[in-house]
Amino acid sequence: MEPYNGPLLEGVQPERLVEIRWDHVVDNRQVAIELGETGWNIVDPIEFPVAKHQVRLLAEALFRPAREVPEPDREAVASHFSPPRIKIHVRERLEGGAIRDHELQVGALDADGMQVEVLVNGRYLRALRNLDDAFSVSVHDLRERRIFDLSPERVVQVERSGFSDITGSMQDLAFVASREGPTWQQSAPLRTQLDPSAMSVWVRQLCALYASGFSSDVVDPELSQFGLNMPNCVLKFTDASGAEQSLLLAQNGASQWFGKLADDYHVYSIDTQPLLLALDDWSVLRDTKFLRAHRADIGSIELASSQGLLRLTQGPALDDDWTVAFRAKGQRDFGPEWLVEKARIQEFLGMVEQSEVTGWLPLDEQRATDLFGPGNDFARYTFRFRHTFEGEHATGFVGPVHTSDLGTSLRTFAREVGLVDRALAPPADQLALEHPGLEGVLSVAVERSWGSYRVT
């Protein structure tokens, strides 16, 4: 009979594994991991998720190629298993639910240290030593260090509360943001539109927050020992299914941080550097684009002012002409539709695509009255979208042009956030003071006046 040459576990499929237990005789360490509904978990000597890369290393080691020891050498090799270095018990679930168990014993390393002897089902085999390395892992290194068990793509709400001086000065960490489709809107401490790309990166990085160590596995820990009885920060994620995970964070000493999930008892040590991201000023997440859409997605533009309503419309095809019509104040019907010069409308759409927010001004009652109160030169704009964003729109209020300290021509505007469509011309005295969707007064650099496109 030809000597066996194949995988260590002959006839076993990796996807059927449901339990792996091992006794590292040399190190006097017993470990057991089991496959649960959410993945692999350590069940002995503690209960804790297994790091995914460690599961992969264990599985790869069990299914590495092995070669049977030649007959003349078997008697000598057998003496290397008294006792074995490691005893491994593997359980698989077959189709239909039947359970099948397998036993492996790891003996001595070869003289060159590159291979290890293994006894499987009465066969003495030689395999690469990564089998010995994989099952010599400590429980500490076996544990999953990623704190949140959430997919960042499914996160629809982020909430943060508390106070921290991690950045050098004490700051209020209050922040609430929600996602609808591709857009993120902040609702606290004020309403504002957030940069979807920046939010996507931020959420992804926070969901990947790792523990640098494990400080307590006591079922009912003394939270005051870690400062977690009065956490500096609470970070909460909600995913599309409504599942929530909250992380309590506390600084204990100059540079030591601890964390604990609200529904778990394990206490983590966390390095300061990654927490700088979690506790950063939310203002860096604000959307600096005047309009987050390409010209191909804009189907119509409306501008309501004290004189009436200006409407620019393009046909359904991307190369269709644009037309402009005006409805005077007090009139029910629009005047005639006029063709818009293609060069001018393309120049205008290009300006809209490229306009950036240059700064945020506080929206208190006096400031709103000064900019958008009765008698001031302002208008309400509405961009209506199509194609990718069919049925959606962006609305806000455009104020007068003013000159910045650097001499730049700026036009002040206030954006509506997270609202359904409303009447185009609310009373001027309610425009900025009582409208619930204004995110704040913003300054946008523009080079042309909206009035350039008014029919005269």
pLDDT score for 419: 37
Q: Is the pLDDT of residue 293 over 90?
A: no
For residues 175 and 84, the answer to whether their CB atoms sit within 8 Å is: no
Q: What is the mean pLDDT of the chain?
A: 85
pLDDT in tens, 68-124: 999 889 988 998 898 999 999 999 999 999 999 999 999 988 877 889 999 998 899
- pLDDT score, position 426: 36
Residue 139 pLDDT more than 50? yes
Which of these ranges, 161-175, 232-246, 320-334, 397-411, has the smallest mean pLDDT?
397-411
Long-range contacts of residues 417-423, Cβ cutoff 8 Å, at least 24 apart: 417/185, 417/186, 417/191, 417/192, 417/193, 418/180, 418/185, 418/187, 418/191, 419/395, 421/382, 421/393, 421/395, 422/395
| For residue 24, pLDDT beyond 90 | yes
pLDDT one-digit tens code per residue, 370-404: 666 666 667 788 999 987 777 888 888 877 777 76
User: Is the pLDDT confidence value at 50 over 70?
Assistant: yes
Q: What is the mean pLDDT of residues 428-437?
A: 40
Instruction: Answer yes or no: is pLDDT of 5 > 70.
Output: yes
Least confident of 17-26, 41-50, 81-90, 186-195: 186-195
Confidence of residue 225 (pLDDT cuts 50, 70, 90): very high
Q: What is the pLDDT of residue 412?
A: 76
pLDDT for the residue 135:
97
| C-alpha gyration radius of the chain | 33
- The pLDDT assigned to 317 comes to 85
Torsions phi, psi for 448 (to 5 deg): -130, 150
- Of the chain, the percentage scoring pLDDT greater than 70 comes to 86
Q: How sure is the predictor about 359, in pLDDT bands with cuts at 50, 70 and 90?
A: confident
Average pLDDT over residues 324-353: 90
Dihedral sign for Cα atoms in the order 330, 336, 337, 340: negative
Decide: helix, strand or coil at residue 307: coil
Nearest residue to 152 via CA among 99, 224, 209, 231 = 209
Closest CA to 418 of 438, 399, 389: 438
Average pLDDT over residues 3-23: 94
- Please report which confidence band the pLDDT of residue 167 belongs to, taking 50, 70 and 90 as the band edges: low
pLDDT for 307? 86
Cα within 13 Å of Cα(154), Cβ side: 12
Q: Which residue has the higher pLDDT, 271 or 378?
A: 271
Q: Does residue 454 have a pLDDT over 60?
A: no
pLDDT at res. 136: 96
Q: Average pLDDT, stretch 322-331?
A: 92
Asked if residue 424 has pLDDT above 50, the reply is no
Strands 213-216 and 192-194: unpaired
In the prediction, which pLDDT does 201 show?
94
Confidence of residue 187 (pLDDT cuts 50, 70, 90): confident
